[in-house]
Structure 1
Amino acid sequence: MRLLLSPGGMRRTRGWPEVCDLNYSVPALALAAAMPLLEETTVPREHPPTLPVVIIGNGPSGICLSYLLSGYKPYLDPATVHPNPVLYRKLQETKHLPITEQDLEYLSEGLEGRSGNPVAVLFDTLLHPNADFGYEFPPVLQWRRDKQQHVPHLVLGRATPGGAWHAMEGSMLTISLGIWMELPGINYRDLTSNGKRRGVTNDRATPEEISSYYRNYVKLMGLKKNFVDNIYVTSVQKLFRGHEEEGLENGYGGKVDVVLGDGGKAVYEGSEGDRVGVDGGGGGGLWEVRGYQRVQGDTHVPFCLFSENVVLATGASDSPVHLGVEGEDLPFVFHCISALGLAVSRRKLGPNSDPVLIVGAGLSAADAVLCACNNNISVLHAFRKHTDDPGLIFKQLPKTLYPEYHKVYHMMCSQTHITTKTAATSATGGLPSMAASVCSKMCSKPQHAKTSVVTGGGPVLFPDYTSFPEHCVVSFQPDMKCVLQGSNSLKAFKISMALVLIGTYPNLFFLKDQGQYLGLDPTKPISCKQNPMDVHPYTFECTKEPGLFAMGPLVGDNFVRFLKGGALGIASCLLKRLKKKGKLIADGGGGERGGDFI
């Protein structure tokens, strides 16, 4: 079988190997990485043109899955005992087998945890037994690398391994403990100074520490050859066979032409007995992954890969959720917290500025409140929920570990606005059409409720903070005014800037209908909380697309400690399928650890 690429007859991109340099002594992944960047009129290829797996996203989800597909296998450590006697008994029954070859549904049965995905709960309790009870027990797993169980794969990422962690503010602290952010095989504290700088009771990390850990993890575990950086995926689609191609299924030696957007063709030529386009899941066809790689500054090189299976590990923080109200596109309205830090650093905001409006009741909004308060900037904080709503994230965070967030929550509850003492025009109907007239009357200074003191008789935490529970934004006006609507009134305020921090959507523009048809509710956009992707609970394969898998925030697992379960489920599924087809191969190089426990 060979693949002929004709993307325009251009010369080979500088820095990539000649065709004669590519041989079986080079890892299969290097061949795959080089393939889309070879711009030849005709590139004969003896190596199969498809990969078993392509992973889109090089954050902790993609890194962990690459680790499991690279021959690293988890076994029960005979020197440990799991505190859950039922689970430990199950693990003892097949202790000679790696967890990836066991029945994950059987092992997960009866386990409870803070993830809705049973395999995520299973893997978490194997790596961090009884973590939710405050214990720090060692993992009950022992990792062994079997080079004969290597699955050729490619991890595509926009930047260096670590994903969105590289773009986060380096001085903030993570929600999760540092040890919960670690990946299998390398202790988090061994690669950072976290344990020395902060005590175990408050072992939270900075994004800078986490991104450094992930970057070093890829190098130390010998995974670097699986990763291709600076990749932008623009299209992922399934190539279905036409009626004229049915002979290929029966071993017919024929040819399949795939027309490329630039006028070239990808031509599959099957020889006698070849099966072209097996996807490993019985769905038929191959996945075509298109995009470009940024090289040498602003130079972009297009590529096209074919894969039997595609894993979506993109995260869910690409596209901020918008309110959809009048004036949201005005230049003083932002949807990312970094805009606040930038305005402060450029001295566009200060103690004498008009208030900053922060919309949202999540942790991003709380971070914005903390940033503003730390810089003595007045804050108006509007959110739809009641302060007693059990769904507020603050109610799930221990006070001893997250004192700063509980300060924000206390202000949200105690420093509320008095609706009867506002200078804004009120209207019982709350009609949006009244916004323009209401906005002409500005509230000079929000008044604090009499209850705006810390419980126990303490002082107001930050006097220039005012919360607006059960309020929503009606509009933003060009004269820097915003209109808020409560239960029975409209209120208008002059502000310096607005931060709308109400969540994010994954950017799945490269999928058909932006992947919406893959959600639990196909009529709504994919959302981590409201509408995650509909996947099999133990394999993480999309129910509507065989051969397409999703993990991490796309299936509702926001925290690193739980998204690793997606890697376990997917790796277990793919290893079992590919083992049946005899497609597991020895690692072609780059791995120093072979057959030993680590």
Structure 2
Amino acid sequence: MKLMMLQGLEGRSNNVVSLLFDCLNLPCADLGLDSDPLLHWQYHPDKYVDHVVLGKGPPGGSWQAMDGNVLTISLSRWMELPGMDYRSFGGGGPPTCRNSRASVASMAKYYSEYVKLKRLQENFRCGTVVTDVKPLANDQWLVTGVEHAGDEGALDMPFHYVTSHLVLATGNYDRPNKLKVPGDSEPYVIYSLLELERMVKQNKLSEHSDPVLVVGAGLSAADAIIACRFHGLPVLHAFRRSSGDPGFVFRQLPENMYPEYHKVHQMMTDGGNSYKKYKSLPEHKIIEIMPDYKVRLMGPGDGGSAACYVIKVSAVIALIGAQPDLYFLPQSGVGLGVKKDLPVASRSNPIEVEPFSYECTEAPGLYAIGSLAGDNFVRFVHGGALAFTSHIHKQLSDCEASAAADEAVEV
């Protein structure tokens, strides 16, 4: 009956609860409408569920580790959390339109301030690293880790929790995909835009340097090209597809809202002939990275045959996707995905969860939300949070009712 009620919902998630929540919270958002939510939030202290949030950094997770100058793909209103309008928050800058994109820095600040304004600080243990998660008897879980000391010279403090309900919300950015060629760990090979900015600040890269080789054809690679051009760095851009491939992600974005990405796409298809200090290398792949800042490439040769050649670079930045790092789980999470014999991957092999609770089908008491469960946009994470919270609350209520009944029998 529940499934029948949800038939007809459409959106950018395959999870029915996430779609339902999104339709109520952002009605007709994908049609370009800026409609008010159909939800009303009301605080019930008696419904509070005791919980703790463990994370390596401050609240906001991966948003705190990204380059703050980059604009979000989603509109700012799609990035909001319940009960706190991003427009009124403003990110410390000028007033923001709900139909505009926000900077990563302002969203990182918004998420941190959300925790403070909602008085959730005592539930957050920042600077913690989970090292091991083990299943115990009676569907419980033992979570072990260390909390990094804030003072220099102080010792890290170990911790452990025993819980009946454990939620995985690690995101998808902990382990960047490597090039998997000889030399892909050379010091001048980097896998994040933040590291590129750091090299510029350290004067390791300048407009007089050899070209930076950008590898990849997605939005992150486009961000790297934009950053290089901003700093005046010469760029060689290698990607495996042909320049006219209709499958580029840029084609899915409205040009009036994402002009910078369409400019990069134009540069890629133009080949770089009209753009100073940029040259695209379509249908190219990296063969070898050498210690002396030389890279061996393979690309189209004369007559349709492949050709190898060597180029001199100042850095290689490879932005070809990332995967979640579930090292702390038994078998690193293998067996939890839809494809049981493969590692968890947000797009190709998300964790298999029950549709209305987000509880892992293979592990009672273990839940997964966000990209781990296939919800790759912030606007769909709310539905997963609602689903597992509702399920946990119902279980706790059932336990209390059972305990009360037992007590009545004993009396």
Q: TM-score, normalised by structure 1?
A: 0.63
Equivalent pairs counted in the alignment come to 396
Out of 205, 226, 238, the position equivalent to 2:123 is 226
Out of 315, 322, 336, the position equivalent to 1:497 is 315
Out of 250, 256, 281, the position equivalent to 1:400 is 256
Q: Deviations over 1:512-560 (max 9, x none)?
A: 1111221222333222222221222222111111111111111222211
Cα distance in 1 between the residues matched to 2:256 and 2:287:
37
Cα distance in 1 between the residues matched to 2:365 and 2:219:
35
TM superposition shift of 1:106 = 4.7
Cα distance in 2 between the residues matched to 1:335 and 1:558:
20
Q: What amino acid does structure 2 have at the position aligned with 1:477? A: M
Residue aligned with 2:295, SS: strand
CA RMSD of aligned residues (A): 2.2
* Matching of residue 236 in structure 1 with residue 90 in structure 2: no
Out of 178, 195, 199, the position equivalent to 1:339 is 195
Q: What residue number does 2:399 align with?
A: 581
Kept after mapping to 1: 8 A contact 2:87/2:95: no
Q: How does 1:443-482 map to 2 (within 5 A)?
A: 452=273, 460=274, 462-482=275-295
Q: What residue number does 2:216 align with?
A: 360
TM superposition shift of 1:397 = 1.5
TM superposition shift of 1:345 = 1.8
Kept after mapping to 2: 8 A contact 1:104/1:119: no
Largest Rg, 1 or 2: 1
Out of 349, 355, 361, the position equivalent to 1:537 is 355
Q: How does 1:67-466 map to 2 (within 5 A)?
A: 105-192=3-90, 196-197=94-95, 199-201=97-99, 203-240=100-137, 284-297=138-151, 298-415=154-271, 452=273, 460=274, 462-466=275-279
TM superposition shift of 1:198 = 5.0
Q: What amino acid does structure 2 have at the position aligned with 1:491? A: Y
Residue aligned with 1:299, SS: coil
Cα distance in 1 between the residues matched to 2:5 and 2:112:
32
Cα distance in 2 between the residues matched to 1:552 and 1:105:
21
Residue aligned with 1:350, SS: coil
Cα distance in 2 between the residues matched to 1:547 and 1:105:
23
Q: TM-score, normalised by structure 2?
A: 0.90
Cα distance in 1 between the residues matched to 2:114 and 2:260:
30
TM superposition shift of 1:107 = 4.4
Q: What residue number does 1:553 align with?
A: 371
Cα distance in 2 between the residues matched to 1:489 and 1:322:
23
Cα distance in 2 between the residues matched to 1:386 and 1:118:
36
Q: What amino acid does structure 2 have at the position aligned with 1:306? A: V
TM superposition shift of 1:464 = 1.9
Cα distance in 2 between the residues matched to 1:527 and 1:350:
36
Cα distance in 1 between the residues matched to 2:354 and 2:298:
42
Evaluate the alpha carbon distance shift between residue 389 and residue 583 of structure 1 in structure 2; reply closer, same or farther with a 3 A threshold: farther
- How high is the sequence identity, in percent, across the aligned residues? 43
Q: Which consecutive aligned stretches of 4+ in structure 1 deviate over 6 angstroms post-superposition?
A: none
Cα distance in 1 between the residues matched to 2:5 and 2:36:
19
Structure 2: where are the runs of 5+ without partners? Answer: 301-305, 403-411
Cα distance in 2 between the residues matched to 1:197 and 1:319:
35
Q: Which deviates more from structure 2 when the two are superposed, residues 362-371 or residues 476-485?
A: 476-485
Kept after mapping to 1: 8 A contact 2:213/2:236: yes
Q: Deviations over 1:29-69 (max 9, x none)?
A: xxxxxxxxxxxxxxxxxxxxxxxxxxxxxxxxxxxxxxxxx
Kept after mapping to 1: 8 A contact 2:139/2:364: no
Q: Deviations over 1:264-296 (max 9, x none)?
A: xxxxxxxxxxxxxxxxxxxx3310010111234
Evaluate the alpha carbon distance shift between residue 140 and residue 480 of structure 1 in structure 2; reply closer, same or farther with a 3 A threshold: same
Instruction: Determine which structure has greater relative contact order: mean sequence separation of CA pairs < 8 Å that are 6+ residues apart, divided by chain length.
Output: 1
